[in-house]
A and B are shown apart, each in its own frame.
Chain A
């Protein structure tokens, strides 16, 4: 009988050992698989463009200060002594720059003084060397991270770069016998058992770092016997397969150490930045002890939650380090005397959500979504966060103003509210600097800059007039009289916005005053197919039909494409490809993608300039002249647009350096009862007034191939002495008027004609 029992016992033991061996082998393969593969999912980070500062630059102090805070700089009352600190006084901003790292440039941080005189930078001086800095590049601002399901932030660190004081602090807090045990610390378990029995409650855990790692990495948090059993086995397996430093490095990168909004802070690399704004190698003894103390209960001991509790936990860690003879008495006292001071953080919402959506569409063509949330890529973009903020503010203010002045525009339901959109581009480079695709992203994610198709109204007219330059000149006279057209068997009778007495008008003045009748007359003279072709050359992708109403912008366009098309006028006839993505680095900072500005020549520079000159007169004397009293006193070219029943209001305006398109309307096509000049233009003006640093305020330069000629405003011929208020008009060379004004020539007949047309002339100059 006994023999039988022994036999069964032996058999059972063999079976258990066999099963355990098989299970351990299985766990071993799991560990190997997990550790040899990608250990963590690192979210990819999207950055805005870098910011340039230079002496003489105008700037908006409030937006600039916000920019520095968004970059993670911390405000101090004293002169900055370490990277990431700023001191702001009424006359100067002292910045200890962070390191700069982009695919194109790396630079160590250094302290600078930015001397501000009013809204202008007077000088930039290095504080350490007193050298003048002619141009300074601030690091790119993080605007978004592509998280996976985990929503974890992690800044990986290698064990060689972790200071000894942090390792000692972690071991003192969690497992001071780490380098002595083999994954399971039996002495620790017994000690924990005794302590817990003495207190009648669980006061101490016996888990080693390796067990904690096993638990975090492979197991659920459930407190069951089987989970504990697996944890022990896994810890042993991990210790057998990896050396202590490897295990410690994984642990230091893995452990959960707090919460920033909805995102978890994992690993000491990230925690060092989150709590103290610095890399781990710069942590002081006290800071290292604080972080180590957080492992036990990160949100309970967080310096952001309860500094006193945090301090008491830090002191316990320092005492433990001292007990383990890792700290001298002097070091202990110094550590205990250090105040607990975290650097602070702000949880900001999405900074440019519509831009990010647009960018994501492009990134998806290059990377799978799961790669974006796991490969830790750095994505560099063209976005300018200061401009983005200014554009958002201008749009919000403008729409609220419209609703205030016309209560009929107010809507109860958020999704039915008056909408607007803005895109800002550099016309020469195609860089998209800001994109506001709607009033409130949380209400509607529909991007009205890239996804909407709206009638451009008169904002389309420049393409009609451009097509006309092949046959006509800016002074060619057009009929501005009422006419009927038959389209698909139906009668179409265009009208001017308001009745006018000017029945004949020059091409230049027709665009300036946005006359519909004269524009249709021009379009019919050019040929509608030619205008359709011209629009296609400008990469307007939406279908346009050769109907007379085409000339008045009756066919829908995509706002971004319209903005890009206008870039051609500002950029000497070349069209840039609209750029939002500039480059992508992998987690080791190797360049994966680079996008440069690329351009395509569409029209001769002289034609582009003639268009700009005519569009400048829209701003100086035409439908956009209200810009002047809205504070826009520098050279601007632009065009307003209003569609039938006031469904859409547009203004596209540009200088040689910057172009912005503003659209206002209701998604459902309700009337907004306002023109482009009344609804969209004020928003454009507000935006431009808020961003002085982006305007050179220089003139548009006339290229070769244009001639400036003094002409009679009535006949468009070369002016003579008696012409009333002769004006200078740009012509294409070789297409200038050849004859002198006969109307005002000094002979009896002309004098009579001049007298009879006096009224018309005055109308023209209105």
Chain B
């Protein structure tokens, strides 16, 4: 019997797709993330305070959970043992630039605390963990480019801690405020046992990042 592929959400500045179904939208860039939030999520106002990297990761994760009916129940065991492992290539560069603009001019030097808090790439994992009450590992790896084999390797390693049962995994990248790519998937322990199969699944998602 053919094995079912992983559920996935793929987003970029002009594209939103859930398990192969393209979501209708009017906006592009950062406004697309706001449109997706308003149309499909709408109950987490902190979204509007996030940087583009966190917004892209947050929206992708929410669309994925909505698709697979993964509801949040703080007491559930899967919540306790779920990790978040994300990858990207430019880390928090976009947020770093936004923050730098607030400290660039010595005569207009007003460092923004709200921008500063996003000058680390792993903040996106924290935003998702807070939303879902996850208490497992959260990691953000910086890779030169999306690399399915390397990502599958790191994800397999994350299951070796003896506690992790599932991982919210994906690629999240933002080079400018209106320019982003992300995919998000949920991996169970048995999925990672076959690293070749997992890498193949991730490669399919990577192939769709530039649609």
Do chains A and B stick together as partners? no
| Chain B interfacial positions (CB closer than 8 Å to A) | none
Q: Which residues does A use to contact B, with CB under 8 Å?
A: none
